[in-house]
């Protein structure tokens, strides 16, 4: 499974592609950040982010896209920009029929570090270890995007198998009536 993890943001939108499956070593395919400057109008920044996400999807052809679920912080302006970038990520994937999964920050932290309250340094260190990298991906937005992709492979793949088994059981029950 190839997963594009997206850590949405209006100034820095982390992007990371990881390939693998549960129980096997994961492989880093690409990592980076789509950047916009605050001197541009928000609509222009959103166009830049959309074009960047489209380019990543076109280049890497992921099986799924994992996006950080937005949660309320004290700064509403930060939430709005993050939510707008998150919406773009979902639209870019949905336009191509690629499944989208949302993972909360605490889910991601728990999946990669075993601690839902891990700090950015701990998450970055675990991403480096899990993907067998020589150095921690920088900035933190890039490491967070990789952590999202890892989480989806480890948790999302299991969730998909559970849903498939439930669907098969329902179908079998319907045939036995």
Q: Which residues contact residue 166 at a Cβ distance below 8 angstroms, ignoring those fewer than 6 apart?
A: none
Catalytic residue among 68, 119, 134, 163: 68
7 is catalytic: yes
CB 30 within 8 A of CB 6: no
19 assigned ligand-binding residue: no
141 assigned ligand-binding residue: yes
Bridging pattern class, strands 64-68 and 100-103: parallel
Other beta carbons within 10 angstroms of residue 35's beta carbon come to 15
7 assigned ligand-binding residue: yes
59 is catalytic: no
Give, as one character, the DSSP assignment of residue 172. Answer: H
Q: Please, what sign has the CA dihedral across residues 78, 80, 81, 86?
A: positive
75 is catalytic: no
3-state SS class at 102: strand
**Widest CA span of the chain, in angstroms?**
64
**Which residue shows structure tokens 């992709």?**
149
Measured between alpha carbons, how far is 36 from 28 in angstroms, rounded to an integer? Answer: 24
Catalytic residue among 50, 58, 141, 144: 141
| Residues belonging to the active site | 7, 68, 141
Q: Known binding site: residues?
A: 7, 68, 141
Q: Known binding site for Mg(2+): residues?
A: 7, 68, 141
């Amino acid at each position: 499974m190839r997963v594009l993890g997206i850590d949405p943001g209006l100034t820095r939108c982390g992007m990371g592609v990881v390939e693998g499956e549960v129980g096997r070593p994961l492989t880093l395919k690409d990592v980076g950040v789509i950047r916009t400057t605050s001197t541009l109008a928000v609509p222009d920044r959103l166009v830049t982010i959309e074009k960047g996400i489209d380019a990543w999807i076109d280049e890497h052809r992921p099986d799924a896209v994992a996006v950080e679920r937005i949660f309320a912080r004290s700064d509403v302006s930060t939430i709005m920009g993050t939510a707008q970038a998150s919406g773009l990520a979902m639209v870019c994937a949905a336009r191509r029929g690629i499944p989208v999964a949302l993972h909360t920050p605490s889910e991601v932290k728990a999946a990669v570090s075993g601690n839902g309250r891990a700090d950015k340094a701990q998450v970055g260190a675990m991403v480096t270890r899990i993907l067998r990298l020589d150095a921690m991906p920088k900035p933190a937005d890039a490491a967070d995007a990789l952590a999202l992709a890892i989480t989806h492979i480890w948790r999302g793949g299991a969730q998909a198998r559970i849903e498939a088994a439930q669907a098969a059981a329902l179908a079998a029950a319907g045939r036995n009536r």
